[in-house]
Amino acid sequence: MKIVFAGTPEFAVPCLRACANLGEVVAAYTQPDRPAGRGRGLQPSPVKLEAIKRGIPVHQPENFRSVASKAELRALQPDVMVVVAYGLLLPQSVLDIPVHGCWNVHASLLPRWRGAAPIQRAIEAGDTRSGVCLMQMEKGLDTGPVLLAQALDIGPTETGGQLHDRLSELGARVLGDALGLLRATIQLPPHPQPEDGATYARKLDKAEARLDWSLPATTLANKVRAFNPWPMAEAMLLGERVRIHGAVALDEAHGAEPGRVLRSGRDGIDIACGSGVLRIRVLQRDGGKAITAADYLNARRNPAA
């Protein structure tokens, strides 16, 4: 079974391993190396590093618009192309090349949270369930029929990073099951997605990480969880900008102006919100590391504040 893999970030690496274990990965496609780090040097993607380690040929086209890029893929004669967080939209002319088409591992229970950031948007919205869908790709954005799906519960304090890691491993297991069935010549029945309940998970933007204290505390607590580890929620606190790593919402009535510090102590720093109170438990000053609220207060104790 000849598999072509297409993916870029760390989320896709377990799926690449699953493909390598269940078939011959004849090529790995990934985004071109991008500038990163303080020196802004070109950095290979996690998928590229994993492919090189396994001796898998790597291809990094800017897109699939050129005749040459399509001819290169066609020459590989893939049985199936597996796409996981690749970062490029594939035209129909590419989707038609593999014998069994292109499969996409998507980190949501479709049709909810189609798009670029399904993990973070699910937590931000307060969802208690997520999962992975293996989808037969078509021209639309995450609109293709679902071949396999598996759900899991989102923990009440689970962060975007923690859910990312769990869904990454779950996606590899679901994909492994599907590839095993394909190798055994068992066809997976496609289940068209219902349009009812479809939502779009727009790409994360660093600008939205700034907390608006006029919002309900539950909304802000979900944002803190969703945006950890990136872009990381931030706010002005006691006159300085801090990043907030951990916080919980308190169902507490108050008459204070949103953004006012109500209390501070070992349990956290309580901030008045549009409704309820946000208790900040873990935070980070500029240039520092993440510390508890108690350590933060000890470091900048000022009786006049």
Tokens of residue 270, six digits: 């309580």
Q: Which residues are annotated as a binding site for (6S)-5,6,7,8-tetrahydrofolate?
A: 108-111
Label each residue of 93-127 as H, E or C: HHHCCCCCCEEEEECCCCCCCEECCHHHHHHHCCC
CA separation for the pair 126, 129 (Å, rounded): 9
Q: How far apart are the C-alpha atoms of 220 and 18, rounded to whole Å?
A: 37
Angle between helices 13-22 and 46-53 (to 10 degrees): 30
Residue 228 near residue 245, CB atoms below 8 Å: yes
Q: Are 128 and 154 contacting, i.e. CB atoms less than 8 angstroms apart?
A: yes
| Residues 145, 260: Cα–Cα separation, whole Å | 49
